[in-house]
Amino acid sequence: MPRTARVLTAGLVATATVLPLAGCGVLGIGGSNADLQIYSARHYDLEGAFKDFQDETGISVEFISGNDAELLQRIKAEGEDGEADVYMTVDAGNLWNAAEEGVLRPLDSTALTEGVPEDLRDSGNQWYGLAMRARTTMYNPDAVKPTDFDATNTYAGLTDPKWKDRLCMRDSTSAYTQSLVASLIDLDGRDKALATVKGWVANGVDIKSNDVELLKAIDAGQCDVGITNHYYLARELKKKPDLKVKPFWASQSGAGTHVNISGAGVVRTSDNAAQAQQLIEWLATKGQSAFVDGNHEYPVNESVKPEPVIGEFGEFERMPLSAEAYGSQNAEAVKVLSEAGYK
C-alpha cells in the first residue's frame, strides 16, 4: 500500500483501538508525507537534531509524541499497515519490551556496534541506546558533606537513621523510580531491595511529583538529600547558578551509579528500514552532540564529550545497565514499592 494511502488507514486503526493517547501530539519537520515517521516518547529538543539530519541527508522526518507504553500499543494496533519507522523511548525497559513483543527488527550495523557500548544495546541488535541519564544523589552543601554518604551502596545507605526526615524522592508511579528499584532487585535481590525501600519510608521520605520540584525543595532547605536524574540539575543551574544543590555520584566504591537510556529501534513493519537505520546510526555517531546536548544528557558514544555544564559534574563509574531487568522486573519493582508503603 502506498505511504500516502496508509496514513488514513493506520490512523483509523489506531483511533479505534488505542484511543485515548494521552498527551500524544504530532510534530513535523518534513510534514505528513515525510520519509520517516518517528514514534517518540522523548520530548527533549528533538527538532534541532532531526533538522540537522534532514539538512545533511535530505531524508525528511516527522515525529509523533506520546508516552512509551501508549506508542508501543499504537504500533502493535496499526500492524502491517502502520506508519512508524522508528520507535524511540526514554527507558531501557520499554525498549526491551518492544523487542520481546516482536515490534522491532534486528539491524546489521558496524557503526552502531562500535558506537554504542554493549550493555546499552540489545544483544540481538534490535535497539540501541542513544542518550544516557544518571539517577544519582543530590544534596544541599549547607547541610550535607560528601563524606556523609555511603560510598559503597549510596542508595541503600539512605536508610541510615541519620537521614530521618531529610529525604525527598520521586513518587512510585515514576518510571525513573521503578527502574531504579528494578535495578536494585537485579543487583541485590528482592529481599534487600525491599529492605532498602522500607528504610526510605521509615526515614519519612517526602515524595515529590517531579525532579524539578525535588531539586527546588533541596535548594530551599525543605530536605537535605534526594535522588534525581542529573540533567534536571543542569537545567536548574542554567536558570539559577547559585542553586544550593550538588550531585554526589552514587556507589562509586561499589556497583556504580544507576543509569538509564533514551534509545531507539527500527519498527519491523517499516517501509523505509534502510533510512530509519541511517537515522539511528547518525544519532549514535555524527549527531550525538546534537541529540544529547540540548537536554544535558550524556552521550552513549564514548568518543563524544559531554557538554560543558554536565562536564563540570565530573566523571563517574556507572552501574552496568540491564534492560532485561528494567523490563522484566518492573512489575516486581511496583510490588516492592507498594509492599514497602512507598507512595
**Interval 188-220: pLDDT, tens:** 999 999 999 999 999 999 999 999 999 999 999
Mean pLDDT of 139-152: 98
Looking at residue 248, its amino acid is: F
Could you tell me if 219 and 245 are in contact, meaning their C-beta atoms sit under 8 angstroms apart?
Answer: yes
Compute how many other C-beta atoms are within 10 angstroms of the C-beta atom of residue 174.
Answer: 16
Secondary structure (3-state) at 167: strand
Secondary structure (3-state) at 211: helix
pLDDT exceeds cutoff 90 at 27 = no
Q: Which three cell numbers stand for residue 342?
A: 512507598
Record the pTM. Answer: 0.89
Strands in the chain per DSSP E = 25-28, 36-40, 61-65, 86-89, 128-139, 167-170, 206-208, 225-229, 246-248, 258-266, 298-299
Mean pLDDT of 97-126: 97
- Nearest-5° Cα angle at 111, 107 to 112: 55
Predicted pLDDT of residue 47 = 82
By DSSP bridging, strand 128-139 and strand 298-299 are antiparallel
Looking at residue 235, its amino acid is: R
Question: For residue range 278-326, what is the model confidence (pLDDT) as tens digits?
Answer: 999 999 999 999 999 999 999 999 999 999 999 999 999 999 999 999 9
For residue 224, name the pLDDT band (cuts at 50, 70, 90). Answer: very high
Residues 6+ apart with CB under 8 A from 198: 159, 340, 341
Question: For residue range 39-62, what is the model confidence (pLDDT) as tens digits?
Answer: 999 877 678 899 999 999 999 999
The percent of residues above 70 in pLDDT, for the chain, comes to 90
pLDDT exceeds cutoff 70 at 111 = yes
Comparing 14-28, 68-82, 275-289, which segment has the lowest mean pLDDT? 14-28
Name the residue among 289, 286, 298, 279 with its Cα closest to residue 50. Answer: 279
pLDDT exceeds cutoff 70 at 25 = no
Mean pLDDT of all residues belonging to the chain: 90
pLDDT exceeds cutoff 80 at 173 = yes
77 exposure class (CB count in 10 Å sphere: 0-12, 13-18, 19+): middle
pLDDT exceeds cutoff 50 at 6 = no
Could you tell me if 168 and 225 are in contact, meaning their C-beta atoms sit under 8 angstroms apart?
Answer: yes
Secondary structure (3-state) at 325: helix
Predicted pLDDT of residue 10 = 30
Mean pLDDT of 248-255: 98
Name the residue among 288, 319, 316, 304 with its Cα closest to residue 129. Answer: 288
For residue 31, name the pLDDT band (cuts at 50, 70, 90). Answer: low
Residues 6+ apart with CB under 8 A from 189: none
